[in-house]
Amino acid sequence: MCVTTTTSGANYALPMLAAVGDLPYNIVHLVHLFTVIVGTGLAFAAPVIAVRARRGGGGKMMQELVDETASALIFPMLLIAGTAGGALVGMSDDFWDFGQTWLAIGGAVWMLILGLVLAVYPPRWFTLLNLAEDRKRMLSGILHLALAIMLILMTWKFGSPINNAF
């Protein structure tokens, strides 16, 4: 399957890797969904588990275990999720387009989320920021709000061709 493209009067065919619903597209979609579920779920669960461990007598050791696990997983999962989401747009053959409202806003929110994750749950290799706990708690709340906004955008797809209700 090829897509014919016209550029400055010349026609040439580009090989199309996948279309919406094809096996390669569905595999990337599965990767996207899996990494969103793991990354977002851990971002919401980590603070709750850490507080319960601290209050339940698990102490600092359990809290450090939760923070290390979150630091090791959240950033890579959300980075892969956004990259796979961008790949889905590229593979969709203009069905999805970065000019659509929900994708344009989603891309900006995704970059904000990655920055917040680096501040709140920095991986071991990222030592640029060393924030106090009260700052991390504040940024964690903003991270949760940004993740909720992203989930709303990706669910209802405001401005997409298949969702004219909004």
DSSP 150: H
Give per-residue pLDDT as tens, 130-144.
888 889 889 999 999
Backbone φ, ψ for residue 7 (5° rounding): -135, 120
Per-residue pLDDT, averaged over 35-52, amounts to: 93
Is the predicted pLDDT of residue 159 greater than 70, yes or no?
A: yes
Is the predicted pLDDT of residue 57 greater than 90, yes or no?
A: no
C-alpha–C-alpha distance, residues 29 and 14, integer Å: 22
Is the predicted pLDDT of residue 7 greater than 90, yes or no?
A: no
Percentage of the chain modeled with pLDDT above 70: 86
Q: Decide which of 111 and 128 is more confident.
A: 111
